[in-house]
Structure 1
Amino acid sequence: MNYLIKTGALALILGCASVANAADKNVTVTLNPQESAPVINKEIYGQFAEHLGTCIYGGIWVGEDSPIPNTNGYRNDVLQAMRDIKVPVLRWPGGCFADEYHWVDGIGPKENRPRMVNNNWGGTVEDNSFGTHEFFNLCELIGAEPYLSGNVGSGSVEELAKWVEYITAEEGPMAKIRKENGREKPWHLKYLGVGNESWGCGGNFTPEFYADAYRRYQTYCRNFNGNRLFKIASGASDYDYNWTEVLMDKAGNLMDGISLHYYTTPGWVGSKGSATKFTDDDYYWTLGKCL
């Protein structure tokens, strides 16, 4: 906001100067439409699909037997909307949900998948009918790059390593299970988040402990069959520069990216309060953090 105000003021000053100069001499304006404009990375417009409210169940996924018009269980209207806005990259399964999600519960025949309690968002019971196959097939349907958020908070190194193998390996024990579950060819996976918000809902790690955990977990997330993982570490919250400094010092050479989190509402996720009932102080706090 401050930048826009300053820019507008500068434009006004320059405009006045141009008018003043025009009285004394001719003014020439040169346009160069042939010159290329700055390139904006398309991933900045990415989306995330977390098991939150009706984002997944009832929103994206209704199941093949739903009376709502669908394609293989995905709502037709939502599919079309996601294609229309050309979602470039889609992150799943969280958010906070990711560090309580165990991927083996979401593969195989849907009637055999165990139910789970979504402790992060309302304590709802989910049937795991939307899992790995459903997510990666969705990305293919809408032309989005998948971004997998791995479970570091409550999962194991072996669990995450086998998930990557299940998704991307051409042959081997995990690929065999994938093929038995109906997917012959591996999927493409570029973005891999090694934990999420690890300073909070992702495990309440200290920066030193998370840096060591990141180093360990990423070691066993391997590249199969030419699939090159872009490994992303869980970055700091808001102004926690110590987290960033410790993490970059201890593990910076082992990461391709870092996921930063910044919340403009009072507090952070889980304590930010009502979307419609807020005080003047809450409003000014939000504007202040935006600036």
Structure 2
Amino acid sequence: MKLERREFLRGLSAAGTAAILAPRALYSQVGESKIEILINEPIGPINKDLYSHFVEHLGAVVYDGIWVGEKSKIPNYNGVRKDLVDNLKKLKPGVIRYLGGCFADQYDWRDGVGVRDKRPTRVNFWADTKYKTTKAYEDLPGGPQKYETNRFGTDEFVTFCRSVGAEPYLAANVRSRDVRVFLEWLEYCNAPANLTTWSTERAKNGHSNPHNVSFWGVGNESWGCGGDFTPEEYATEFRKFTAWLPTYGVPLKLIGSGPNGGDVNWTRNENFSKAWR
């Protein structure tokens, strides 16, 4: 018997429809199905650290934005803007990261501790300005967009974090400082008072109790201003900076520098994966 193509397709379609409808007819005899959405029933807790913030050291973010000084006419808590602290508390931040952006890659934490009036002034060459030429840059008026006074440093930042209920997150300089500088920063923040040279220095600066900083970034934007590292080079630096760290009883959370945007070469490259091992 010869079966035309159109007749075959019509028959096939009818058979498929019957196969689909048959289960429905069977289920309808049992009862209707329903989906119930329990909007008030929690699935599980959300980690508070997801609700965190980032301090970029550009323009007026730090100076005037956070730090105004204890003698400022602007209401403040120990030099930090009162309105900022009061409002940030309401957001209940989990973690606040400091030395964000490329400023972290030139920073020496030792410049930002001790008597404020005796702290060194450095050039902040990551200036948040439109100027490009050297002469135009030299013609700029003095200010935080050009110079870094280091009035706001480690102790001030940690105090700020605690005042708003957040954990401090410090970013180590991998581009222009070595492992020893990182170890000494860790010592300054976390070693018990008068146990080491740097913890004694912290106590002299008015902070006898350790800062107990858990979150440490190892480098910043290491694919660019943080050293122009290849993924393999950065993996080697990360391992060097994080090997055999003293914890001083504080659980450390060491955070690597991620890729630039969607550069999967940083996370899926075979040689990069080997370098992490």
- Could you state the TM-score of these two structures normalised by the residue count of structure 2? 0.77
The aligned counterpart of 1:237 is: 260
Higher radius of gyration, 1 or 2 = 2
The aligned counterpart of 2:180 is: 158
1:49–1:90 Cα contact (<8 Å) kept: yes
Q: Deviation string for 1:143-189 (max 9, x for gaps)?
A: 10111111001111110110011000012121111111111010121
- Quote the Cα distance in structure 1 between the aligned partners of 2:188 and 2:123: 24
Q: Quick check: 1:179 aligned with 2:185?
A: no
- Quote the Cα distance in structure 1 between the aligned partners of 2:273 and 2:258: 9
Amino acid at match of 2:234: Y
Q: Quick check: 1:249 aligned with 2:277?
A: no
- Displacement of 1:40 after TM fit? 2.8
Task: List, as ranges, runs of 4+ consecutive aligned residues in structure 1 with deviation greater than 2 Å.
Answer: 25-42, 245-249
Q: Deviation string for 1:122-161 (max 9, x for gaps)?
A: 3511210000000011111111011111100111111011
Amino acid at match of 1:250: A
The aligned counterpart of 2:162 is: 140
Number of corresponding residues: 230
- Quote the Cα distance in structure 1 between the aligned partners of 2:273 and 2:167: 26
Q: Which stretch of structure 1 is more off in the superposition, 59-68 or 113-122?
A: 113-122
- Quote the Cα distance in structure 1 between the aligned partners of 2:159 and 2:68: 15
Q: 1:79 to 1:242 in 2, by over 3 A?
A: same
Matches within 5 A, 1:216-227: 216-219=240-243, 221-224=245-248, 226-227=249-250
Q: 1:211 to 1:28 in 2, by over 3 A?
A: closer
Is the partner of 1:90 in helix, strand or coil? Answer: strand
The aligned counterpart of 2:116 is: 110
Is the partner of 2:258 in helix, strand or coil? Answer: strand
Task: Determine which structure has greater relative contact order: mean sequence separation of CA pairs < 8 Å that are 6+ residues apart, divided by chain length.
Answer: 2
Is the partner of 2:72 in helix, strand or coil? Answer: coil
Extract unaligned runs of 5+ from structure 2. 1-26, 129-144
Amino acid at match of 2:260: S
- Quote the Cα distance in structure 1 between the aligned partners of 2:149 and 2:93: 26
Amino acid at match of 1:175: S
Is the partner of 2:160 in helix, strand or coil? Answer: helix
Extract unaligned runs of 5+ from structure 1. 1-20, 254-291
Amino acid at match of 2:186: V
Amino acid at match of 1:219: A
Identity of aligned residues (%): 42
Is the partner of 1:93 in helix, strand or coil? Answer: strand
Is the partner of 2:45 in helix, strand or coil? Answer: coil
1:103–1:132 Cα contact (<8 Å) kept: yes
What is the aligned counterpart of 1:203 among 227, 246, 250?
A: 227
